[in-house]
Amino acid sequence: MKDKIRAFVVDDSSFVVMSIIKKLQTDSEIEVIGSAHNGREALDKIRVLKPDVITLDVIMPEMDGLTALKHIMSEIPTPVIMLSALTSEGAETTIKALELGAVDFFLKPSALRPTGGDETGDNLIEKIKRAAKSKTGHFTIIKSPVIKQIGETTSTKRSLRPGNDYPVIIIGSSTGGPRALMQVIPFLPKDFPAAVLIVQHMPPLFTKSLADRLNQASQIPVAEAADGNIVEASHVFMAPGGYHMVVTKGNRIRLNQNPPVLGVRPCIDITMKSVADVYGALSIGVVLTGMGTDGTLGTSSIKATGGKTIVQNEVTCAVYGMPQSVVKAGLADKVLHIDRIANELIQMCCSSLNNTVKEHCNERN
């Protein structure tokens, strides 16, 4: 008989704790083995009980959730799902937690709804099951970026055009994606000779907070995309939660709220296909950690036009679902440790530039 997933619930509200426990008890594959009302009490119990998954609130007395999360990741690495408020402040705190090693989050307001059957209650169960399968390699400490510039000349950079002189990169990610993105985007130099588009499965508000956090940590500007943005080198745009993002032949980003695809909006496949259609062989698709198959059809479109693809390797994925799907389909040119992806992108992009810029790339590497 399959062992049950042993869950531990942490929240300073007894009502929230009981609501979560009641919801989890409806699934025969999950067993709640304990609970706590602050971070300090949680750590004492977690060290003894060693649960498979922890749900963790942020604002608590004695020790808050972020402090507790740091101790969990350093002392007893365990998959953690954060309990988040659907506010700008809540989104910002959640992004910090994901960066520290939390696997996922769910929205606190819906967790309190007594009816069940809404997306959050069922979603919580699914996320706990997903977190229980996450890889321990995901909990490694993020290195601080040490970046040298490629040395692209001003005159050369001014002449570059997307799909003509420089590549367009599409990075797709889901569960564990914020942490993975923090191990790629901040390591790109400020004169990076490519445009970057990110599609992260995440609700509104959270994509804005993630883009802001990446922007703070990176040398190239990162922003949540707006309809009409121009795709240009040394800039990163992230698809807003709730919107599909496509690129047109005029190098413009267009957003739409067409129906979800594969149950998600934004969808990685949609962005990748649009980029492949416009930029052809100068398209580069990157598929990072996440559940499901989003990104497989997109990388197929990129490969069909002569573009290149990279996927994150299993040991560093929180969930090896989307990358594995690309690998199984025979569409991955490179399967790399997360720490090697930024450098590989630099190498790929340098190879597409003129001889003057290539010389600078060779000097860097």
The per-residue pLDDT for range 348-358, each reduced to its tens digit, is 987 765 433 44
Together in a domain, 207 and 332 = yes
Structure token digits, residue 251: 């190098």
Structure token digits, residue 278: 């416009």
Confidence of residue 160 (pLDDT cuts 50, 70, 90): low
Predicted confidence at residue 43, as pLDDT, reads 96
Together in a domain, 275 and 330 = yes
Predicted confidence at residue 88, as pLDDT, reads 73
Q: Classify residue 221: in a domain, yes or no.
A: yes
Predicted confidence at residue 120, as pLDDT, reads 52
Catalytic residue among 84, 174, 209, 325: 174
The per-residue pLDDT for range 307-362, each reduced to its tens digit, is 999 999 999 999 999 999 999 999 999 999 999 999 999 999 877 654 334 444 44
> Domain with 64 in it: what CATH number?
3.40.50.2300
Predicted confidence at residue 155, as pLDDT, reads 37
Q: Classify residue 37: in a domain, yes or no.
A: yes
Percentage of the chain beyond pLDDT 90 is: 73
Together in a domain, 159 and 128 = no
Cα separation, 183 vs 50, whole angstroms: 28
Together in a domain, 192 and 326 = yes
Confidence of residue 114 (pLDDT cuts 50, 70, 90): very low
CA distances from 166 to 122, 206, 350 (A): 44, 30, 9
Tell me the DSSP string of 234-297.
T-EEEPPTT-EEEE-TTSBEEEE-PPPBTTBSS-HHHHHHHHHHHHGGGEEEEE-SBSSSTTHH
Confidence of residue 141 (pLDDT cuts 50, 70, 90): low
Catalytic residue among 294, 300, 301, 325: 294
The per-residue pLDDT for range 121-139, each reduced to its tens digit, is 678 899 999 899 886 555 5
Known catalytic membership, residue 174: yes
Three-class secondary structure of residue 1 per DSSP: coil
Q: Which amino acid is at 145?
A: P
> Domain with 160 in it: what CATH number?
3.40.50.180
> Mean pLDDT throughout 181-197?
95
Q: Among 28-42, 77-91, 169-183, which is the least confidently predicted range? A: 77-91
Predicted confidence at residue 71, as pLDDT, reads 95
Predicted confidence at residue 350, as pLDDT, reads 79
To 5 degrees, how large is the angle CA 200–CA 201–CA 203?
Answer: 110
Catalytic residue among 37, 138, 201, 244: 201
Q: Are strands 168-173 and 104-107 parallel, antiparallel or unpaired?
A: unpaired
Together in a domain, 104 and 164 = no
Confidence of residue 107 (pLDDT cuts 50, 70, 90): confident
Together in a domain, 204 and 79 = no
Predicted confidence at residue 364, as pLDDT, reads 41
Q: Classify residue 146: in a domain, yes or no.
A: no
Cα separation, 289 vs 174, whole angstroms: 6
Task: List the domain range (segments joined by +) for residue 340.
Answer: 154-364
Predicted confidence at residue 229, as pLDDT, reads 97
Together in a domain, 161 and 108 = no
Q: Which amino acid is at 150?
A: I
Cα separation, 162 vs 233, whole angstroms: 7
Q: How many structural domains are present in the chain?
A: 2
Predicted confidence at residue 140, as pLDDT, reads 58
pTM value > 0.75: yes
Together in a domain, 116 and 247 = no
Task: Give, for 31, the enclosing helix (H) or strand (E).
Answer: strand 30-36
